[in-house]
Amino acid sequence: MTGIEWSERAKALLKAELKRRNVGYRELAEKLTAMGIPETERNIANKISRGGFTAAFLLQCLSAIDCHTLRLSDG
């Protein structure tokens, strides 16, 4: 896979976890801010739409939505 494909996969995984938990970008921003990680809804939307966010951002988001297990494949 190319770097772009990996970025798209990371973006899809994060969006799927947010959807599974019915958490929108506004609520995610509130949860991250409560954790001491100030983010705005717009900033989150931009990061996720680009797909070029850091592993640290991915882990922060997953922690904020109480995602303790991440399934990387359907198999």
- CA dist., res. 45 & res. 24, Å (int): 10
pLDDT tens-place string over residues 13-62: 999 999 999 999 999 999 999 999 999 999 999 999 987 899 999 999 99
Predicted model pTM = 0.90
- Helix 3-20 and helix 41-50, axial crossing angle in degrees, nearest 10: 140
* pLDDT of 32: 98
